[in-house]
Amino acid sequence: MEKTWNNKAWFMVLPVLLLVAFSAVIPLMTVVNYSVQDTFGNNVFFWNGSDWFTEILESERFWLSMVRNLIFSFIILAIEVPLGIFIALNMPKKGWGVPVCLVLMALPLLIPWNVVGTIWQVFGRIDIGLLGYTLSALGFDYNYVNDPTDAWVTVILMDVWHWTSLVVLLCYAGLVSIPDAYYQAAKIDGASRWAIFRYIQLPKMNRVLLIAVLLRFMDSFMIYTEPFVVTGGGPGNSTTFLSIDLVKIAIGQFDLGPAAAMSIIYFLIILLLSWVFYTVMTNVDAER
């Protein structure tokens, strides 16, 4: 659509600007303020330069959380995206099955995140949980409280349970936008199931897949509540992701300086990712 140039439009954006400034800019400035100061209590602060940043960037703890978080993000992407595509391809195309599937599949997306954690915390317990009990009964040595591998498996399974539907919904929306004539032409051309996927369905899902991947990557990169409820970041630090670590430092230890510095680094990473997201999206938009 051709847009007209009109600087008065700023007045329409003003309320949003003020509101978001209040809830984002001011807090962010506080963080920046803390990140360059130190205190010995009594509300006396003094300039500390970039010391906190150096400390965080040199700490093994930060990098371990970061690496754990990246590994986590890649694993869940590797599972959720192909799985989501596969499920979307096999969704019913019409009839009563469509709304039923959509609603049931979207259900996990609407559960408060800590309840998601609680559900899996209970579900995985070997004494009272269906999953844990069944696995133990089958002879698996499964216990997410003690075993780091089991904790990871549980957290990943939980994320797959929680978010795969998002990929399914987006892909499904892409698929239903394909006109019937494409499938009919493919039949006439004698295309195999794989060729139909590769040359008709995948190109049409392109854009929504991109959104799905970026959203899932960013959201998994800030995951906090669900693993916190299930494992509390443990056993040991094995499931301590960036956000969990940050909250531990900030609220648990009340180390304002390092927490603020870490927040800023964290935020910059997200900013970079958002920029990638935005650029990719606007380019895709422009291509259409």
In this structure, how many other beta carbons lie within 10 angstroms of the beta carbon of residue 45?
Answer: 15
The neighbouring-strand residues paired with 45 are 39
Q: Which residues, 6 or more positions from 76, have their beta carbon under 8 angstroms from its beta carbon? A: 156, 159, 160, 163, 216, 220
> Whole-angstrom Cα distance, residue 61 to residue 240?
10
Between residue 121 and residue 140, which ones bind other proteins under the rule CB under 8 A? 122-123, 127-131, 133
The length of the chain, given as a count of residues? 288
The token duo for 191 is: 């295309």
Single residue of 77, 186, 213, 280 touching other proteins by CB under 8 A: 186
Please give the residues from 260 up to 279 whose contact with other proteins meets the rule CB under 8 A: 260, 263, 266-267, 270-271, 273-275, 277-278
Query: Which one, 152 or 226, has the nearer CB to other proteins?
Result: 226
Binding to other proteins in span 158-177, by CB under 8 A: 161, 164-166, 168-170, 172-174, 177
Closest approach of other proteins to the CB of residue 127, in Å: 7
φ, ψ dihedrals at 199, nearest 5°: -105, -15
- Residue span binding other proteins (CB under 8 A) among the ranges 49-57, 71-79, 148-156, 200-208: 200-208
- Check the CA dihedral 86-87-90-91 and report its sign: negative
Stretch of 45-53, 60-68, 141-149, 254-262 lying at the interface with other proteins (CB under 8 A): 254-262
The distance of closest approach from Cβ of residue 63 to other proteins in the complex, given in angstroms and rounded to an integer, is 17
Residues 47-86 that bind other proteins (CB under 8 A): 86
Binding segment for other proteins among 40-48, 59-67, 72-80, 191-199 (CB under 8 A)?
191-199
**Binding other proteins by CB under 8 A: which of 153, 156, 213, 225?**
225
92 vs 180: CA distance, rounded Å = 15
Beta bridge mates, 38: 46
Compute the least distance from the CB of residue 257 to other proteins, in Å: 12
Nearer CB in complex with other proteins: 152/208: 208
Distance (Å, rounded) from C-alpha 206 to C-alpha 203? 5
